A and B are shown apart, each in its own frame.
Chain A
């Protein structure tokens, strides 16, 4: 069986809009094909599901339609455009009339003018001078110009030469003066340098002497202070030692006295004890 339904056939069969002849072929195809039957069942199930979608209740609002059939010229298409263009042209014409606008064209181009047109007199184009006359005038002018240039050039050259000569003479005088100065400087320099060096040495020596003097005094003061401080320190140390020794000796003396007192006490007790025992033994005897 070569029949295989396309999408359109499936839909036509599903919604019962298939011709009887094709429907028979479709049914045969479905009988022979289990997968096709399953697909049809799925489609029918989807249809059933779609039927659960309910319509929404709605109240129709009043529809008011203006049925005025008299259609004005304004309502026709393009009427507004045409009227706009006509109005614009009219406006341009009125403005042109009020401002006396005139547009003209000739060989030189288009001219737009406002107000009354000024008529310019035609220009006489006939040549007043011939070509040779003009050439002669140019040549004469050039010749005159060249002469003036030559004259100026000669004058300038003479002035420059004179100026150079003057400058050279002045320079010669200046160089002689400079040479004399240099010689004077050279001759005077040796003595001056020696004197300068000697003055520098003397000054340095004086400065060193002052410095040494100052430093020696300072060192002496410092040493004196140092020795005084050291002697004070030694004196203090000696006093402390003496005080310590005094204290120790006092302690030893005190200890000796105490020891002596204790010894005396012991001896006294011993003597007294021995006296008593002697008496006792005498009585016994």
Chain B
């Protein structure tokens, strides 16, 4: 994945972190701006629900601002932030399981009312057929992610989409690195099986490397 300016800024945010730790509101605001998209997307892939992802992201950053002072090692900021996000994701999931109401988005089909998702994506200037195929594949993959267990899903998202190292994921989840790798292996295996069931393999999908 190509590194954007935002990624570079995230990697070199030590001075920002130091200022934010000292209670600099401006620095805290910039940290939120830098990391909000990542945490939101992590939560969105975990729930496939915009509102729940927003809820988790906001709670994570409120908690971050409140507790940043207690963070001793700034090099561990990334795993520390994801730890907060994972905890809130689990909390929301517990609430969702206890509250069996159906979200309104599932009742009213958003696909029928809104334009296709690929229209808003960055691929919209490319070949329309290919754009549609990729959007469809993306949709299928996100649905397949939701079929994984909670433990496998959080590992797959953190590794594959958030680019955390296995060591960092182990730190976030407070488990051994080997357990993380094992969950990742079985998570990928599960995804592969689901895709094979829908006849989606490397031979049937044409993507540009």
Q: Name the one of A12, A46, A50, A58 contacting B166, with C-beta atoms under 8 angstroms.
A: A12
In the bound complex, residues from chain B placing their C-beta under 8 Å from that of A217 are none
Q: For chain A, residues 138 to 178, give those with C-beta under 8 angstroms from any C-beta of chain B.
A: none
In the bound complex, residues from chain A placing their C-beta under 8 Å from that of B209 are 48
Question: Is there contact, CB below 8 Å, between B165 and A8?
Answer: no
Question: Is there contact, CB below 8 Å, between B44 and A54?
Answer: no
**Contact (A63, B205) CB under 8 Å given A17-B165, A56-B44:** no
**Within the assembled complex, what's the spacing in Å between the Cα atoms of A52 and B134?**
6
**Within the assembled complex, what's the spacing in Å between the Cα atoms of A128 and B142?**
101
In the bound complex, residues from chain A placing their C-beta under 8 Å from that of B54 are 58, 61
In the bound complex, residues from chain A placing their C-beta under 8 Å from that of B71 are none
Q: Shortest beta-carbon distance, A75 to chain B, in Å?
A: 13
Question: Is there contact, CB below 8 Å, between A42 and B202?
Answer: yes
Closest residue of A by beta carbon distance from B176? A8
In the bound complex, residues from chain B placing their C-beta under 8 Å from that of A45 are 201-202, 205
**Contact (A8, B178) CB under 8 Å given A15-B166, A47-B160, A54-B121:** yes
Q: Name the one of B58, B122, B191 contacting A54, with C-beta atoms under 8 angstroms.
A: B122
In the bound complex, residues from chain A placing their C-beta under 8 Å from that of B50 are 56
Q: Does chain A have a CB within 8 A of B56?
A: no
**Contact (A7, B186) CB under 8 Å given A53-B161, A60-B33:** yes
Q: Name the one of B160, B185, B207 contacting A10, with C-beta atoms under 8 angstroms.
A: B185
17 of the cross-chain contacts (CB-CB < 8 Å) are A7-B181, A7-B182, A8-B177, A8-B178, A11-B182, A11-B184, A12-B181, A45-B201, A46-B192, A48-B209, A49-B195, A49-B200, A50-B141, A52-B141, A56-B50, A58-B41, A60-B36
